[in-house]
Amino acid sequence: MNNKRILPPTIFEIAAVALVALHLTLPIAILVRYPLNLAGIAFILFGSVLNIWADQLFKKLNTTVKPYGSPSAFVVQGPFAWCRNPMYLGMLSILFGISIVCGSLASFIVPIVFWIIIRTRFIPLEERSMLAAFGEEYVNYTKKVPRWM
């Protein structure tokens, strides 16, 4: 495994910084004003809880959270019962929440770009790993549980 690969949490952190930077440097139009922008806090909290919950399940079952690693356990409980990618959904929710709090049009670009990167670069890789590791069991899971929600 190449340890120099950029992992999703790093992309998330870069996205969060870029989001705020875009808001501060390019506040083209304010879409969400105070006090409605405070609704973004709910998205931030939801995403944070989702990430912590999913991460704890991975630790409890002693399997990797890294998309380049080989899964050793098939996690289907907790948020994985209704979403195949709760960590990514959590990160996306946090970014969307920050965008709402910022309220500017430019800040909403970042969650979209983050979603595209995760959807095209990491999810296909993880789905191939899951299929290789768990075969038909994983295929059946994908038929019942959506990627995002």
pLDDT in tens, 55-87: 999 999 999 898 888 899 999 999 999 999 999
Determine, yes or no, domain membership for 96: yes
Determine, yes or no, domain membership for 27: no
Structural domain containing residue 72? 33-144
Mean pLDDT (whole number) for 124-140: 96
Residue 3: the pLDDT is 56
Determine, yes or no, domain membership for 115: yes
Counting DSSP H helices and E strands in the chain, the numbers are 5, 0
- pLDDT bin (cut points 50, 70, 90) of residue 19 is very high
As for how many domains the chain has, the answer is: 1
Give the containing element (helix H, strand E) for 102. helix 86-102
Rounded-to-integer distance, Cα 29 and Cα 109, Å? 13
Output the pTM of the full model: 0.93
Determine, yes or no, domain membership for 6: no
Mean pLDDT (whole number) for 24-34: 90
Over its C-alpha atoms, the chain yields an Rg (Å, rounded) of 17
Residue 58: the pLDDT is 95
Quote the mean pLDDT of the chain: 94
Determine, yes or no, domain membership for 50: yes
Give the containing element (helix H, strand E) for 104. none
Show the tokens assigned to 117.
Answer: 């990167």
